[in-house]
Amino acid sequence: MITTIACLAMAVYFEARSEPIAGQLAVAQVVLNRTMSHRFPDTACEVVKQGMVNSAGNPVKNKCQFSFWCDGKKETVRNNDSWKTAEEVARAALAASIDITEGATFYHTPDVSPAWRHTKVRTVQLGNHIFYREK
């Protein structure tokens, strides 16, 4: 069974490994914030893997909450140092008493303009991600 740390580390590694540590921590925090919302699954692993699945139980391409999970590419760690950092960030996120995202449950890069952003409250930009919480 995959652990909470591993699921958080996957999100950090595949979504934000090139970001500053604060940006990586914020991505992990979004996953954790979602576990505390009634709108999302209750565990970090379920949050990370949330999305449409086909009849075989496999993710439907580009129909997931986290793009890396259903982009059609295998989740292969190619940089061990970045993976170790992602694990450390995951542990720090679990131990954190302060939420640097101010309750964010969504984020995107400045390169995209998702329609949902108008229905949320922008909280902070960290690195190359803009974070939002529910109104």
pLDDT in single tens digits along all 135 residues of the chain: 689 999 999 999 999 999 999 999 999 999 999 999 999 999 999 999 887 778 887 777 777 788 877 777 777 888 999 999 999 999 999 998 899 999 999 999 999 999 999 999 999 999 999 999 999
Pairing of strands 129-134, 106-108: antiparallel
Own/partner contacts of 47-51, CB < 8 Å, gap of 24 or more, are 47/7, 48/7, 48/8, 48/10, 48/11, 49/7
Judge whether 24 and 10 are in contact, CB under 8 Å: no
Judge whether 100 and 88 are in contact, CB under 8 Å: no
Q: What is the chain's percent helix, strand, coil content, to nearest 5? A: 45, 20, 40
CATH superfamily, region 4-100: Cell wall hydrolase SleB, domain 1 (1.10.10.2520)
What does pTM read for this prediction? 0.90
CA dihedral 119, 69, 23, 123 (to 10 degrees): 10
Domain residue limits, the chain: 4-100
Judge whether 77 and 65 are in contact, CB under 8 Å: no
> In sequence order, which residues have a C-beta less than 8 Å from that of residue 35 and are 6 or more positions away?
41, 42, 43, 44, 47
- 100, 94, 116: which is closest to 21 by C-alpha? 100
What tokens appear for 33 in the block? 């914030």
Q: Which pLDDT belongs to residue 58?
A: 78
